[in-house]
Structure 1
Amino acid sequence: MSDRSAIIIGGGIAGLATAALLGAEGYRVTLVEARDDLGGRAGSWEHLGFRFDTGPSWYLMPEVFDHFFALLGTSAAEQLDLVPLDPAYRVYSEGHAPIDVRSGRENARVLFESLEPGAGETLDRYLDSASDAYRLAVTRFLYDTYETTAGLRDPALLKRLPTLAPLLTRTLASHVERRFSDIRLRQVLEYPAVFLGGSPYGVPSLYHLMSHLDLEEGVLYPRGGFTEVIAAIERLARAQGVDIRTSSPVAEITTTDARATGIRLADDTRLEADIVVSTADLHHTETALLPPHLQSYPESWWESRTPSPGALLILLGVDGELPQLAHHTLVFTRDWRANFGDIFGRDTRIPDPASFYVCKPSASDDTVAPEGTENIFVLVPIPADPSLGHGGVDGAGDDVIERAADEVIAQMADWCDIPDLAERIVVRRTIAPADFASDLNAWRGNSLGLAHTLRQSAMFRPRNASRKVSDLFYAGTSALPGIGLPMCLISAELVVKRLRGDRSAGPLPSPRHASL
């Protein structure tokens, strides 16, 4: 056990998880959050009886959550009320009738075969590979701090190189499209690239492992919303004695002789500690909280990096029921490549028509909307560009954003057969890239973090410790291992591994020996 002190910057899931784990290690931990509320990207908003998650809404990789909770002597089952979703999601693909995707190998196989003769057998092989790649990622890549190359030089891993090399050099789209012809099947297998902050035409095909999660493992929902995940981790952090301070923006990471000594808040309050862990946006941490000569990732480094897409979020309270939508619904345009080109290409724009995602948590949870109404969260991937503007409540956002939201609502009404949707809206709020930039200090207003291109994955992703400032560590969506709630939990564990001097490639042993 340590008797040292730690300061955590940022009260999102990565910050809270890091605080809880360091508290369990015996550190005296203070967590500071700039905003009034905890959660970061996994935020929440309430209005007129509706409660909206403003960020993550897919509960995937359940064993990562289980392992994290086990490290703290509990379990996801004890902390959360998890509900399996059936269907896992519904898909509206332009020009086609909707399809429901149900988890489980046989269900997926039957669906694929019904849409493309022979695709069921092909899917079996695809999912065998996806499952193998997922296990490899969890045991060899995701929990590695990459302080050394020992894990990469493991003979067992080197034997896999002939299989791994093509998965690292081929895009996900090319991997899928050489196996399946039906556009709906291609889209089901390629859309997880957005979860990784990228395009199927840009992320490596190793990430076909994502299909193991939704098509085989299943999709869960924490009743009460993802704010309950944040609340659970906050409880565990406080139980470890963590001092949590909101409304406390950080102005500077203080240093002496290139060693982190604490922080200076915006009100000039100074807090000292033996170590500092920043889970704030990495670009902001490096370029705003450190002087140029102590920046491991200066502005010049970011100029050649790829952010995740921005997002137009549309939060809608709707009068009456919406049986046309499942808990998760995906709406895809026919011209898939052009849609991603609008977002990631040279001349970016908000796609029109757009591919987008709709969450209707009221399908599974009667606590998120008044009786007789529906709670709708719409996420439209758009360019990471704060100049597109801010969102607002009841149409008060910038014109470009509100017009785009109008177009998406009209498209959803048309494509999902809800002709009176606009007339039934009783609550409306938009959130846009300028909001991500101003509220979360998100680099270029991106919504997720650094995209998982090959150049920004695994050992090529920013490490979890400063190269120029000792006792300064990083966690969160732009550091190892990457984007998403499970990755943020792992990033917290990687801080503990580094502090322990643990250079193994796998997860820490836990009191409950959670299996991964």
Structure 2
Amino acid sequence: MSAPRAVVIGGGISGLATAALLARDGHQVELVEAGDQLGGRAGSWEQDGFRFDTGPSWYLMPEVFDHFFRLLGTSAAEQLDLRRLDPGYRVFFEEHPDPLDIHASAARNATAFEAIEVGAGRRLDEHLDSARRTYDMALEHFLYTSFTRRRNLLSPALVAHAPELLQLLAEPLERFVGRRFQDPRLRQILGYPAVFLGSSPDRTPSMYHLMSAMDLTGGVLYPQGGFAHLIDVIAALAEQEGARLRTSTRATRIITAPQPGRRRPRAVGVEVQDADGAVRTLAADVVVATADLHHVETTMLPPALQTYPERWWRRATSGPGAVLLLLGVAGTLPQLSHHTLFFTRDWQENFGAIRQGRVPSPASLYVCRPSATDPSAAPDGHENLFVLVPMPADPGLGRGGIDGAGSAQVEAIADEAIAQIAEKAGVPDLAERVVVRRTLGPAEFAADLGTWKGGMLGPAHTLRQSAFLRAGNASRKVESLLYAGSSTLPGIGLPMCLISAELVAKRLRGDDSASPLPEPAPGRAAADRARTADPGRTGAEA
């Protein structure tokens, strides 16, 4: 019997991870990516010796990466050169002259909180204890499940914590933090994780305070070579497992066929268009779509077979859009940490403007300076800055461009961001020192990545779009059509995308547990690595 054929649509991290896991499980895997490079939102761009990541830049939840690599017979330590950042990040506040550094030590952070507000150090310890308990509970019960077996939610551990969990789901993060901390600066630091989830503190369930267990306790990691290198590593592992990865190959239609005696048709292939315009069909026993779910459902399936048609999306809430700046800067910028945040005073106005489709001014900013840690990110004596300005998810804001060639609105937003960084961080000549400049706007996200409304992250993690209420990872109208990526379970972020790939593998194995897949024994992992190094050796010889 021949191996089952799997076609994976989308070459972002979730697609590559899916391809690797399914190939390891014995599938013949062909992955198709519309763009000319792999990575999806985790893209890259190079010019004049500068190497920019154009998407994710935070390496959080390292245990999820470790588990994923071990499933493939290797480890994060073998594949990546990870550096711990200390400080993990620096925060500038609009109405305060001095920034606050968040360190890799929970004790140092408690001391810093105490210096700002009496009693806040002890309360931070309590907050982080709660965050860790909630994080552990999420890993054990909520993240590695497709919620197909609802009795998993009735486990004794969850039943015992049901009142606490219900409160964490019902109470917004903003209110949860506000009950413990009074100083606006501390509230903003502890509410900021909502932004990672494509939402705002007043709309994100307080269950997500669990994210503080990552950046406020053990610091933040960075893979040398950037996140484009992480993509290269996972792509190489997928190919080592036997997956075929094709770029410049656009999926245009999911092909289905009726099944005698069954109500639902089955996915039997994917129609693709090559770079030269040629159209062909890839036969499949299972199709896994990891591209934007809205794009897949509304353009690759007829209305009668759409689980999530346009009317479903009209009720959904998008995460924000963004204007991105890729800046090569002459000279050094010690005023900025590897990760630096600039918070405006009035968050209600900032987040409210984005939800209402208005451009916030001033806007809260995020700046990544990878050249602080990674010499390969910029030429000697220069700095690499990635600036993210959250904006409405609205392609009408326009596209970016090189050296100011983007739309007038995108370039004006970029100019204001540069001026804001220059003033607050004390770099008055920042604009004059820029030697490479590229901007990207929501129109690029929509046109180049096919994202819903031009959003940069995916559907926001509001209560109605979290856990089992988020879009599922299997079509209800087409058998053997599965989904992975930030649009679906378990949600937004690189670790969540890795887990979403594992959920696909679990479904195909018939595993409906809430636990991660079992990892190969260390002996088998060593044998797997030996076979990869020398494919001619058998398992016994290895």
Q: Is the 8 A contact 2:149 2:513 kept in 1?
A: no
Match of 1:329 among 324, 336, 340: 340
Match of 2:471 among 462, 468, 481: 462
Tell me what 2:80 maps to.
80
Q: Is the 8 A contact 2:357 2:394 kept in 1?
A: no
Deviation (angstroms), 1:151: 1.1
Tell me what 1:484 maps to.
493
List per-residue Cα deviations over 1:462-500 (Å, max 9, x = no partner): 111100000000000001000000000000000011111
Tell me what 1:142 maps to.
143
Tell me what 2:27 maps to.
27
* 1:450 paired to 2:450: no
**1:108 and 1:206 mapped to 2: Cα distance?**
21
Tell me what 1:242 maps to.
243
**2:102 and 2:311 mapped to 1: Cα distance?**
44
Tell me what 1:401 maps to.
410
Tell me what 1:11 maps to.
11
Tell me what 1:37 maps to.
37
Tell me what 1:215 maps to.
216
Q: Is the 8 A contact 2:7 2:284 kept in 1?
A: yes
**1:155 and 1:380 mapped to 2: Cα distance?**
44
Deviation (angstroms), 1:54: 0.1
Deviation (angstroms), 1:348: 2.2
Deviation (angstroms), 1:156: 1.9
* 1:297 paired to 2:308: yes
Deviation (angstroms), 1:512: 4.8
3-state SS of 1:156 partner: helix
Tell me what 1:65 maps to.
65
3-state SS of 1:429 partner: strand
Tell me what 1:105 maps to.
106
Tell me what 1:316 maps to.
327
1:200 maps to amino acid: P
Q: Is the 8 A contact 1:320 1:374 kept in 2?
A: yes
Of 257-266 and 68-77, the range deviating more from structure 2: 257-266
Tell me what 1:114 maps to.
115
**1:138 and 1:394 mapped to 2: Cα distance?**
44
- Identity rate of aligned residues, in percent? 61
Q: Is the 8 A contact 2:357 2:393 kept in 1?
A: no
Q: Is the 8 A contact 2:324 2:389 kept in 1?
A: yes
**2:358 and 2:411 mapped to 1: Cα distance?**
15
Deviation (angstroms), 1:147: 1.1
Deviation (angstroms), 1:336: 1.4
**1:176 and 1:337 mapped to 2: Cα distance?**
15
Tell me what 1:93 maps to.
93
**1:105 and 1:376 mapped to 2: Cα distance?**
28
Alignment of 1:202-281 (within 5 A): 202-257=203-258, 258-266=265-273, 267-281=278-292
Tell me what 2:52 maps to.
52
Alignment of 1:165-184 (within 5 A): 165-184=166-185
Q: Is the 8 A contact 1:89 1:100 kept in 2?
A: yes
Q: Unpaired runs of 5+ in structure 2? A: 259-264, 523-542
Deviation (angstroms), 1:2: 8.1
**1:203 and 1:164 mapped to 2: Cα distance?**
14
3-state SS of 2:121 partner: helix
Q: Is the 8 A contact 1:71 1:512 kept in 2?
A: no
List per-residue Cα deviations over 1:32-73 (Å, max 9, x = no partner): 000000000000000111000000000000000000000000
Deviation (angstroms), 1:264: 0.6
Tell me what 2:540 maps to.
none
Deviation (angstroms), 1:326: 0.3
Tell me what 2:385 maps to.
376
Match of 1:387 among 391, 396, 406: 396
Over 3 Å counting, the alpha-carbon distance change for 1:2 and 1:417 in structure 2 is farther
Tell me what 1:501 maps to.
510
* Cα RMSD (Å): 1.0
**1:246 and 1:230 mapped to 2: Cα distance?**
14
Q: Is the 8 A contact 1:79 1:232 kept in 2?
A: yes
* 1:126 paired to 2:157: no
Deviation (angstroms), 1:104: 2.1
- Alignment length (residue pairs): 511
List per-residue Cα deviations over 1:357-386 (Å, max 9, x = no partner): 000000001001000000000011111011
**2:420 and 2:218 mapped to 1: Cα distance?**
31
**1:20 and 1:105 mapped to 2: Cα distance?**
36
**1:384 and 1:300 mapped to 2: Cα distance?**
18
2:50 maps to amino acid: F
**1:485 and 1:74 mapped to 2: Cα distance?**
19
3-state SS of 1:324 partner: coil
Q: Is the 8 A contact 2:4 2:27 kept in 1?
A: yes
1:4 maps to amino acid: P
**1:353 and 1:173 mapped to 2: Cα distance?**
21
Q: Is the 8 A contact 2:10 2:289 kept in 1?
A: yes
Tell me what 2:351 maps to.
340
List per-residue Cα deviations over 1:372-422 (Å, max 9, x = no partner): 000000011111011111111110000010011111111111111110000
Q: Is the 8 A contact 1:2 1:25 kept in 2?
A: no
1:25 maps to amino acid: D
2:234 maps to amino acid: I
List per-residue Cα deviations over 1:133-192 (Å, max 9, x = no partner): 000111100001111202111122111111111110010001111211111111110111
**2:169 and 2:344 mapped to 1: Cα distance?**
27
Tell me what 2:537 maps to.
none
Tell me what 2:441 maps to.
432
> When the two structures are superposed, what TM-score results if normalisation uses the length of structure 1?
0.98
Match of 2:298 among 282, 287, 295: 287
Q: Is the 8 A contact 2:421 2:427 kept in 1?
A: yes
Q: Is the 8 A contact 1:10 1:33 kept in 2?
A: yes
Of 101-110 and 453-462, the range deviating more from structure 2: 101-110
**1:382 and 1:103 mapped to 2: Cα distance?**
30
Tell me what 1:157 maps to.
158
3-state SS of 1:508 partner: coil
* 1:416 paired to 2:425: yes
**2:490 and 2:206 mapped to 1: Cα distance?**
17
List per-residue Cα deviations over 1:329-361 (Å, max 9, x = no partner): 0000011111111112xx321211010100000
Of 504-513 and 334-343, the range deviating more from structure 2: 504-513
Deviation (angstroms), 1:105: 1.8
3-state SS of 1:307 partner: coil
**1:212 and 1:18 mapped to 2: Cα distance?**
27
